[in-house]
Each structure stands twice: as structure tokens, then as C-alpha cells.
Amino acid sequence: MIYYKTEEEIELIRQSCLLVSKTLAHVGSMLKPGITGFDIDKAAEEFIRDHKAVPGFKGYNDFPATLCISKNEVVVHGIPTDEPFKETDVLSIDCGVYMNEFYGDAAYTFAFTEVNRETMDLLVATEKSLYKGIEQAVVGNRIGDISFAIQSYTEKEMGYGVVRELVGHGLGRNLHESPEVPNYGMRGRGSKLQSGLVIAIEPMINLGTRRIVNSNDGWTIRTRDRKISAHYEHSIAVKEEGPDILSDHSFLKEAIKNNKNLSVIE
Ligand code: MG
Ligand code: MG
């Protein structure tokens, strides 16, 4: 069952997504070698609560933290630890908030300064694929058109691995709603996109194999070959006039530009 949102509901989701975006910028401004996942997770939780919202992930299916911090070969759902970050790390940071009865959800993969070109190229392509997916989120298209756009670019054109087991999703009063939004698929298949549909589009793209492994903590998902994985996510609303991106990565991009410990993804 898909819940289509009213204009008012979309605006509430936008407020939640904007707080996620600003939280990602806040932690992005803090990132430096030596800081830990615990440090930025704590800062993120404080930032969200200071804005009269609550972390969307903490306690969700018993997830223990405010942020998913997925380092290097971790695809998604990494749990923050006390291990200091290094100059060579890439960090996918995924954040959710719950405010005014609606969730916001967005993610970005950050790179420190000593990340190699091969990895930077993966990050650039994965971010680009997110926007190729969003472009297809127009009334009259189907979910498969979004999926196909992401897969054909990252897999066929770039030769990367597209994770199959984890997908984007509807978003609203629940963090995960129908429909699923896979990052692979066929044009013209799946649910028709109608005005009022709110979905999180989130390509998870691997440098090597698309195969993944689950770890013993019940959360952390790694690439099977232990090569790098990237993850970028926006929450968007389908509207008559086109896709409306509810989260806003411009805040974190500004933070990256002003943080000499990070590389700009380009
Ligand atoms: Mg997310
Ligand atoms: Mg999501």
C-alpha cells in the first residue's frame, strides 16, 4: 500500500529532511583524522535534539546510534565505534530524523584527503547516478525507470557493482514505506509514479563485486571482496512539475569546501 502525501505533508517531510541535511553538514565540518565515529554520532544526536527532533535511526529495530557510519568496504548500516578515522578513509554517513510525525532520510559519502583516484571516481559516479535516478522520478514513469537509470550508468557504463539486496524506499510517517526503489531494474516496470509519492533514492555502488556479506553484529554490511563501496541518498517528492528534492546536500558541500581535511567529490 503506497501512501501518497498532501502538499502539507510533503512540507513537513521537507523540514525533517532539511534537518538531516544540516546534521550531515554539521558532522561534515567536524571530520578530521583522529576523530571517531562515537564523537560525530554524539554531536549529531545533540544537534538533532537541539532542533526539537529525535534521531530517526536510534532504536529503529534496535539500531544503537544516530548515524550509520559505513567506512571503506562497509556498504551501509555501519555502527559508530571509537576507532579514529584516517586520511585514507571514505565514510558513508546516513542520517534520519523524526520530527512533527514525519521522517527525513539522506546520506552522503565523504572522503578524507588521501583517498586514491580510483575510489574518488567511484564516489563521483555514485553521486552522479543518484541524480540520474532522480531525473526519472516524474509523473507517468515507473519505479523501474529510476532503477534502470542508476544501474545502466553505474554497472554498464562504469563497470561497478550494484548492490541488489538493499534498496531505496517510500518515506513519510514511517521510515520505510512502500514502494521499494531498487538500484537495478527494467524500464517501464514497477509502480507508476504519481504526484504525492515521496521516496528515498539511494544508490549503493561497489568498486568491485556487487556481492555483500552480513556481519555478526547484525547490522554492518560489507562488500564480499572488501573493496570500497559508496552510498548517496536524497529523499524526493514526485510532483506534476517534476521531482522535488526534499533533502539538500548544498549544506554539506559547503562544509566540505571549508574543511581542509576533506576532499571535494568531483
Ligand atoms: Mg538513509
Ligand atoms: Mg533510506
How many structural domains is the chain composed of?
1
For residue 249, CA distances in Å to 115, 135, 156, 202 come to 21, 16, 27, 13
Ligand number nearest CA of 171 is: 2
pLDDT at 229 (0 to 100): 98
CA 77 / ligand 1 centre spacing (Å): 9
Question: What is the pTM assigned to this prediction?
Answer: 0.98
pLDDT in tens, 86-122: 999 999 999 999 999 999 999 999 999 999 999 999 9
Reported confidence tier of residue 15, pLDDT bands at 50, 70, 90: very high
Q: What is the mean pLDDT of residues 10-19?
A: 98
pLDDT at 212 (0 to 100): 98
Interatomic CA distance for residues 125 and 130, integer angstroms: 9
Within-domain flag for 2: no
pLDDT at 191 (0 to 100): 96
Reported confidence tier of residue 162, pLDDT bands at 50, 70, 90: very high
Residue 76: how many CA atoms within 13 Å on its side-chain side? 20
Ligand number nearest CA of 94 is: 1
pLDDT at 151 (0 to 100): 98
Output the average pLDDT for the chain: 98
In the block, cell 556479506 appears at: 213
pLDDT in tens, 216-239: 999 999 999 999 999 999 999 999
Within-domain flag for 226: yes
Ligand number nearest CA of 96 is: 1
pLDDT at 217 (0 to 100): 96
Burial 194-208 (b: 16+ CB within 10 A, else e): eebbbbbbbbbbbbb
Within-domain flag for 182: yes
Reported confidence tier of residue 10, pLDDT bands at 50, 70, 90: very high
Within-domain flag for 97: yes
Query: By residue range, what is the domain housing residue 230?
Result: 7-263
pLDDT in tens, 129-151: 999 999 999 999 999 999 999 99
CA 74 / ligand 1 centre spacing (Å): 14
Ligand number nearest CA of 198 is: 2
Within-domain flag for 137: yes
Is residue 115 packed enough to be buried (19+ CB in 10 Å), middle (13-18) or exposed (0-12)? buried
CA 78 / ligand 2 centre spacing (Å): 14
Reported confidence tier of residue 83, pLDDT bands at 50, 70, 90: very high
Domain holding 171: CATH number?
A: 3.90.230.10
Reported confidence tier of residue 56, pLDDT bands at 50, 70, 90: very high
Within-domain flag for 191: yes
Within-domain flag for 70: yes
Within-domain flag for 1: no
Interatomic CA distance for residues 133 and 146, integer angstroms: 5
Reported confidence tier of residue 202, pLDDT bands at 50, 70, 90: very high
